[in-house]
Amino acid sequence: MTTAPGEPPEAACTSCGSGETRLAQVRSAFWHDDRLVVVEDIPALVCRACGQQSYDDATVIALDLLRGEGFPAEKARSELRVPVFSFRDRAAGEAKP
Ligand SMILES: [Zn+2]
């Protein structure tokens, strides 16, 4: 890979404006009604400075379509068991001497 002088720079971070972004495949969680779903291998521009992930328009549309389909369970690659905590339990625990 060579970097030609005329090559367009990577897009700037939408959050902090840093030009230090890289393309990566990321994993993100979405709430769909009461279900939490995880989508892997989402192409995103990730900022090296602040960690902000941004998706291009085509990716946002594809995610919207998936949401519109209701994230059908039969299309899922795998399932995760997710531990659920209540902040109230935490607060009660902290109050003990
Ligand atoms: Zn940034």
Distance in Å, CA 8 to ligand 1 centroid: 19
Q: In CATH, what number does 11-74 get?
A: 3.10.20.860
Q: Helix H segments across 1-97?
A: 57-68, 87-95
Q: Which residues does residue 45 pair with via DSSP β-bridges, in sequence order?
A: 23, 54
Residue 58 CA to ligand 1 centre (angstroms): 21
| Section 30-57 average pLDDT | 94
CA distance 4 to 62: 32
- Ligand 1 geometric centre to CA of 53 (Å): 8
When pLDDT is averaged across residues 37-62 and rounded to a whole number, the result is 95
Give the global pTM.
0.72
Give the start-to-end residue ranges of the domains of the chain. Answer: 11-74
Q: How confident is the model at residue 88 (pLDDT cuts 50, 70, 90)?
A: very high
Give the mean model confidence (pLDDT) for residues 48-72.
95
Q: What distance in angstroms lies between residue 74's CA and the mean position of ligand 1's atoms?
A: 36
Mean pLDDT confidence for 69-93 = 90
